[in-house]
């Protein structure tokens, strides 16, 4: 197996360094469908607990639907100016995917039927009862996909902004989101009309603890 080349390493670190939240976009810029597909495919390759892939991407590109979303997102103009807004949803009933996910693994010879049954049983048990576990898992895993989406967009030459500021209840109602899914964040994607504001980060020493508090 070949290790990562210096060029690949530079590319990844450069992408991470260049990604900043952009709130002003070139209005009317149409993103080619193949770019959007590539970005979503990259996001869907994110890791997830038990490989249940807790994310769903609600792609809002129709201008009328963006206008509908605008007041729900407290009239943040990036909603209508960006090429697309992607609502990242988390699956509150991701255990329902276990049978299909592991059935495919059995078919591909990755595991035995017995191991599959054991795993599916464990997953269903984890989702039982009135616990915060399903919601925590939905938000955690969908967020991994959202971050991967933002990096993929940057690598393709697009800018993004993760948005937590929107009326979730109104969003669910207006966009007919089934009860099974919870809105995690909105991501605007498009071409920046002006450079993002640089934001400072805390020194690494302030956010890193080694071994134990």
Can you tell me the mean pLDDT for 51-63?
98
Q: Is residue 207 part of a domain?
A: no
The pTM is what?
0.90
**Which CATH number covers residue 115?**
3.40.109.10
* CA pair distance 86, 162, nearest whole angstrom: 10
Can you tell me the mean pLDDT for 41-62?
98
* pLDDT of 17 strictly over 70: yes
Q: Which pLDDT belongs to residue 9?
A: 66
* pLDDT of 30 strictly over 70: yes
* pLDDT of 4 strictly over 70: no
* pLDDT of 127 strictly over 80: yes
Q: Which pLDDT belongs to residue 93?
A: 98
Q: Which pLDDT belongs to residue 2?
A: 61
Q: Is residue 16 part of a domain?
A: no
Q: Is residue 44 part of a domain?
A: yes
Can you tell me the mean pLDDT for 16-30?
89
Number of other residues whose CB lies within 10 A of the CB of residue 58: 17
* Enclosing domain of residue 160: 29-192
Residue 49 token pair: 């607990």
Q: Is residue 6 part of a domain?
A: no
Q: Is residue 24 part of a domain?
A: no
Q: Which pLDDT belongs to residue 92?
A: 98
Q: Which pLDDT belongs to residue 69?
A: 98
Count structural domains, the chain: 1
* pLDDT of 205 strictly over 80: yes
Is the four-CA dihedral 33, 82, 88, 176 of positive or negative sign?
negative
Residues recorded for the chain: 213
CA distances from 212 to 88, 164, 202 (A): 34, 31, 20
Q: Is residue 83 part of a domain?
A: yes
Model confidence at 164, in pLDDT bands (50, 70, 90)? very high
Q: Is residue 40 part of a domain?
A: yes
Q: Which pLDDT belongs to residue 14?
A: 83
Number of other residues whose CB lies within 10 A of the CB of residue 166: 19
Where do we find the tokens 């070949």?
A: 2
Task: Give 51-64 as a 3 state SS string.
Answer: HCCCEEEEEECCHH
* pLDDT of 1 strictly over 60: no
Q: Is residue 55 part of a domain?
A: yes
């Amino acid at each position: 197996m070949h290790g990562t080349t210096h060029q690949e390493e530079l590319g990844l670190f450069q992408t991470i360094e260049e990604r900043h939240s952009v709130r002003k976009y070139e209005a009317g810029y149409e993103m080619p469908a193949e770019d959007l597909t590539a970005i979503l495919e990259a996001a869907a390759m994110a890791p997830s607990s038990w490989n249940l892939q807790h994310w769903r991407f609600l792609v809002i590109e129709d201008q009328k639907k963006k206008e509908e979303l605008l007041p729900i997102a407290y009239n943040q103009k990036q909603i209508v100016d960006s090429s697309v807004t992607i609502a990242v949803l988390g699956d509150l009933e991701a255990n329902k995917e276990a049978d299909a996910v592991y059935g495919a693994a059995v078919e591909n010879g990755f595991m035995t039927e017995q191991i599959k049954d054991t795993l599916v049983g464990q997953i269903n048990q984890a989702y039982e009862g009135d616990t915060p576990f399903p919601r925590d898992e939905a938000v955690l895993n969908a967020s991994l996909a959202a971050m991967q989406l933002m990096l993929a967009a940057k690598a393709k030459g697009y800018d993004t902004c993760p948005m937590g500021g929107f009326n979730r209840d109104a969003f669910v109602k207006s966009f007919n989101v089934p009860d099974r899914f919870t809105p995690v964040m909105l991501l605007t994607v498009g071409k920046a009309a002006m450079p993002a504001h640089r934001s400072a980060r805390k020194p690494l020493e302030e956010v890193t603890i080694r071994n134990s508090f």
